[in-house]
Chain A
Amino acid sequence: MAVAIRAALAVLFVILSGQPALAGKSDDTVNVGFRLQLQSLDSYYSPGREGLLLSFWVWDALVYRDSSTFEMKPLLASSWKHIDDRTLEFVIRPGIKFHDGSTLTVKDVVFTLNFVSKPENKVFNQAAVAWIESATATGPNTVRVRAKQVTPLALAYLMSVPIYPADYYQRVGREGMAAKPIGSGPFTAQPGPDNSVIFTRFDDYFAASPKGKAGVRRMIYRAIPEINTQVAELISGRLDWAYYVPDDQAERLRRLPNLRVAQGESFRVAYLTMDAAGKAAADSPLKYLSVRRAIAHAIDREGLVKNLMLGSQLIHTPCYPKQFGCGQDVTKYSYDPARARSLMAEAGRAGGFSVDIYAFRNRQVAEAIIGNLRAVGITGNLRWAQYPAVVQKRRSNETPMVVDDWGSNSIDDVGAILPVFFNGGPDDYAMDPAVTASLARGGSTTDRAARQAAYAEALKRIADQAYVVPLFTMPITYVFSAGLDMPVPNDEIPEFWRARWK
């Protein structure tokens, strides 16, 4: 027996000695958990939100958007001005260093913008670069960026276009940058053990940056796909930060003294699209205004917000209320099943009908909507699929209804959402020339008042015609170590350079 106990203790000792040391406040390190592995450390070839975040941590762009006020501030460019409707001129700050000690110049800016804007280079985040026609140096410190057409969102796009060191990138290429990324941002990055990425404070980061020098020495990015495992790591203290934590888990974590739970808004909004144009079926009942209005009245949106989407806001237009141009002063549809039934009868559809409803994000919400519709005689057949499959169906004119959402690429302007779904293209199921024309007016001028008026007109028409049922905003739940001082993002962009241990 004694031998067995000694053997068990020996095994236990070996197990304990095999554990990695816990990092955290003691060594000024923040361990952060994400679902997906960073697929490349070349941010232009690292897809998804993780790749976008990587670009903010390791590189700087010409401009920076203040995460609290959403005000655009100079970053690598010390100033800018509009030369004409399609041309912006930037003055590049002198003396900014890349991580390898070289100095950032106009040449780097021109190279990067011209490289990423070429489709054949296949960079991700095309929306941010596809508008660029060319970039040219106009002086030792000035660069002109010419747009293919008037692009009121040019600055908003440029904030997520990191500037690369031209010589280094041309020398080492995509593989070289992925192996040893060189930027000018607040952190350097290097691949770590076990597919982690180690971000280290860049001590020569320029003092005038509105981002500020990193407050922690190191940040370690860990890919943990299973949210329950992330939660276990947070509870055990091996992880200091995670996001997209489900509400039920967040409620439990709130009770733990070593963790802080907070919700932050994002620009993502959810809405139900309807085939008003009859793309999926020429005889679609959704072509009738009364039916679409009936659907808008049939859905208990407040109930969804209260019971399934805690912390979200009800919306009346298909955009995020804080986005520029996203007015809410439009026709509103209250939850009124009796009115919905009467509208159905008015459309000659008192007996109801059957319709396919596609969804990809939140099954509970889709099922609740189907339940609401059933109460007014509409049978919704849930078609649950992955996002690319739903988009493929949508673009092939096969989706009568979609429980859809859109994140606007974290851009605080309706120009990043409305033209995508009402442009007369394959994603547009309203195909209303009046809406398309209003949006085209809003997108073809940099005059803010004119844009605001054009978007208001479009939103009013969209609501009157009930082309979509706007549902709710989609806030994100963040969990932090209680000892970590870091602002809660309002735009889905965690700024780890602002993190500090208390």
Chain B
Amino acid sequence: MTVFIVRRGALALLVLLTVSFLSFGLVKVSGDLAIALAGEQAGTAYVDFLRNQYGLDDPVIVQYLRWLGRLLRGDLGASFYFGTPVTALLAEKLPITMILGVSALSFAVLVSIPLGVMAALRPDSWVDRLVLGVALLGQAMPTFWLCFLLILLFGINLAWLPISGSGTWAHYVMPTIALGYYATPAFTRITRAGMIEALASDYVRTARAKGLRLPVIVLKHGLRNALVPVVSVAAVQFGFMLGGSVVIETIFAMHGVGYLAWQSISQNDYPVVQAIVLTVSSIYVVLTLVADLLNGAIDPRIRIR
């Protein structure tokens, strides 16, 4: 088991290193930070001055290693635009994104598990088709489109919910639905498949033969077993949600990490972009690692592979 943990941990570190290098390179390719910093109207002399001041005239690899060196000392640097330490920016914005991610995951789980169970109880019936249809719609509909449908209905026509911002919990309702709906199909399909398998198993047949009521059979015997893969997928989906929050936060003007990422990418503020990519990918990698280790603990065959 120790070898397995060390191997997975090393792989996770390698992934993080690769992601940080790629994102660094991509930001560099997208444009000259000195020009962006100097502003549209600035002359070449000032741009050159800034390039020199910020060390932007060094080779990219040197700049990357300098950034990595600072990171190892726990210093993520300062934003070129906000002028504040990146850690302070992240500390301010991360709670909004985490609340959104957790609420969207909760929404997805709460909606998809009952749907998956309903579909599994009557496979190939109209209920099953309807549930799969809803799941298919969730996969096919672009997130931004759903956002605008929600805004149109709840923000404009009914005027029940605020459209933009993150000041009150009401601001989280529409973004939660939009972000959570994206994950619903995966959970619904897994729950449905797991439940169908569980309901066809010997222990459920035995439970039926014992005369147990359907809710008890479903909740106590079927669902408990069907939910194991859902937990693994939830960890991965949470990582996806943190990444997907860029679109959601931008549309709903929620000032979280996603919005900060959009703004920083637009302005080539690479210390911030790097820190965000590193934070989100770290969360994703850690969650995946935990899921891998759990799976390894549950199923020893995985450890050998």
Contacts and interface: CB of A to CB of B under 8 A. Distances in A.
25 contacts: A16-B160, A19-B160, A20-B167, A20-B170, A119-B46, A119-B49, A126-B38, A126-B39, A126-B42, A194-B167, A224-B164, A225-B250, A225-B259, A226-B250, A226-B251, A232-B152, A232-B155, A232-B156, A232-B163, A233-B163, A236-B163, A385-B30, A392-B35, A395-B35, A426-B44
Interface in A1-37: 12, 15-16, 18-20, 36-37
A136 B49 CA distance: 26
Interface stretch (A39-47, A69-77, A324-332, A342-350): A39-47
B163 A39 contact: no
Given A18-B170, A19-B161, A225-B259, A395 B44 contact: yes
A445 to B, nearest CB: 21
Contacts of B44: 395, 425-427
The residue among A232, A387, A426, A427 with the most chain B CB atoms within 10 A of its own CB is A232
B32 A194 contact: no
A260 interface: no
B253 A19 contact: no
B253 A224 contact: yes
Interface of A: 12, 15-16, 18-20, 36-37, 39-40, 45, 47-48, 119, 122, 124-127, 130, 174-175, 178, 193-195, 222-226, 228-229, 232-233, 235-236, 238, 385-392, 395, 406-407, 409, 416, 420, 425-427
Contact of A15 (B81, B160, B164, B255): B160
B90 interface: no
B82 A40 contact: yes
B300 interface: no
B151 A229 contact: yes
A252 to B, nearest CB: 12
A437 to B, nearest CB: 19
B41 A126 contact: yes
B163 A388 contact: no
Contacts of B43: 126-127, 130, 420, 425
Interface string B78-96: 0001111000000000000
Contacts of B167: 20, 193-194
Interface in B166-180: 166-170, 173
A388 B268 CA distance: 9
B33 A39 contact: no
B67 interface: no
A335 B50 CA distance: 43
Given A225-B262, A225-B263, A407-B40, A15 B170 contact: yes
A425 B47 CA distance: 13
Nearest to A192: B167
B37 interface: yes
B83 A229 contact: no
A130 B46 contact: yes
Contacts of A387: 31, 35-36, 40
B46 A126 contact: yes
Contacts, number: 141
B165 interface: yes
Contacts of A391: 31-32, 35
Nearest to B53: A122
The residue among A224, A226, A406 with the most chain B CB atoms within 10 A of its own CB is A226
Contact of A392 (B32, B50, B165): B32
A19 B155 CA distance: 11
Nearest to A18: B170
Contacts of B33: 388
A234 to B, nearest CB: 10
B162 interface: yes
Given A225-B259, A229-B151, 18 more contacts: A18-B169, A19-B162, A20-B167, A39-B81, A47-B267, A124-B39, A174-B83, A175-B84, A178-B83, A193-B167, A224-B253, A233-B164, A236-B155, A387-B31, A391-B35, A392-B32, A420-B41, A420-B43
Nearest to B249: A225
Given A19-B170, A225-B263, A195 B156 contact: no
Contacts of B297: none
* 8 closest cross-chain pairs (CB), A and B: A18-B170, A388-B31, A389-B31, A392-B32, A127-B41, A194-B167, A388-B36, A224-B253
Contacts of B268: 386, 388
Nearest to A128: B41
A224 B262 CA distance: 12
Contacts of B21: none
B148 interface: yes
Contacts of B160: 12, 15-16, 19
Contact of A223 (B161, B170, B255): B255
B252 interface: yes
B136 interface: no
A426 to B, nearest CB: 5
Contact of A195 (B41, B152, B255, B267): B255
A229 B39 contact: no
A127 B39 CA distance: 9
Interface in B65-111: 81-84
